[in-house]
Amino acid sequence: MPNTELAAFLGCEIDQGFVRVDDFQRTTVSGVFCAGEPTGIGGFELAVHEGQIAGLAAAGRTDEARRFFSAREKQKKFARALETAFSLRPELRGIVSPATLVCRCEDVSYSKLRSCANWRAAKLQTRCGMGPCQGRVCGPATQFLFNWNPDSVRPPIFPARVESMAAFAARPETAPTMVRGGH
């Protein structure tokens, strides 16, 4: 599952689980570009081409960015073929047993989730989605099985006081090291 939390936090439109972008990888929020898995599962090569387009477009070099459109489209075609071949079929919902683990992190079975009305209720009553993966595995499973969507987005970024960062940087043991010339 792609991580779209930062884009959602910034107010970018999410469409069918992915960040909506235009041909130049611009999101629906002015000045915000997005590339890679958040815009659609397609692998490394697609992400690289999208990143090149986004970087050039962000720098105002749209004519140069257009040179990567055909390479990106080739990779998108491959991604569509993968989606067709590996998407979950609806009949899979019918083979789930009550003992099937839906949330591996918190050991939550299908039978425990059946009585929950939505994702939030499942989290509150069973801790589904609250383990180490933070719903990255069970979130899509509950979306497939129950048609649930997360109620809200928890910000993936948090404010920090400048004095805290300055104190951290002042300690020699925490200062970043620079490696130059391969040494």
pLDDT at res. 164: 77
Residue that is written with structure tokens 């960015």 in the block: 65
Residue 94 sits in the same domain as residue 169: yes
Is the residue at 154 inside a domain? yes
**Domain boundary residue among 54, 86, 118?**
86
Is the residue at 33 inside a domain? yes
**Domain boundary residue among 28, 62, 86?**
86
Q: What angle do CA 89, 85, 43 make, to 5 degrees?
A: 120
pLDDT at res. 95: 92
How far, rounded to the nearest angstrom, does the alpha carbon of residue 181 sit from its chain's CA centroid?
35
Residue type, 110: Y
Residue 41 sits in the same domain as residue 109: no
Residue 36 sits in the same domain as residue 82: yes
Is the residue at 62 inside a domain? yes
Q: How many domains does the chain have?
A: 2
Residue 125 sits in the same domain as residue 75: no
Q: Looking at the chain, list the stretches that DSSP marks H as alpha helix, in order from N- to C-terminal side.
A: 5-10, 44-58, 62-66, 69-86, 110-113, 119-126, 138-146, 162-170
Residue 109 sits in the same domain as residue 136: yes
**Domain boundary residue among 53, 86, 119?**
86
pLDDT at res. 58: 97
Is the residue at 124 inside a domain? yes
Residue 78 sits in the same domain as residue 99: no
Predicted TM-score (pTM) of the model is: 0.69
pLDDT at res. 174: 57
Residue type, 44: F
Is the residue at 153 inside a domain? yes
Is the residue at 148 inside a domain? yes
Q: Torsion over CA of 105, 111, 116 and 117, rounded to 10 degrees? A: 120
pLDDT at res. 9: 87
Is the residue at 181 inside a domain? no
Low-confidence ranges of the chain (pLDDT < 50): 182-183
* Domain encompassing residue 60: 5-86
Question: What phi and psi, each to the nearest 5 degrees, are found at residue 132?
Answer: -55, -30
pLDDT at res. 160: 74
pLDDT at res. 182: 47
Summary count for the chain: helices (H), strands (E): 8, 4
Residue 82 sits in the same domain as residue 94: no
Is the residue at 179 inside a domain? no
pLDDT at res. 177: 56
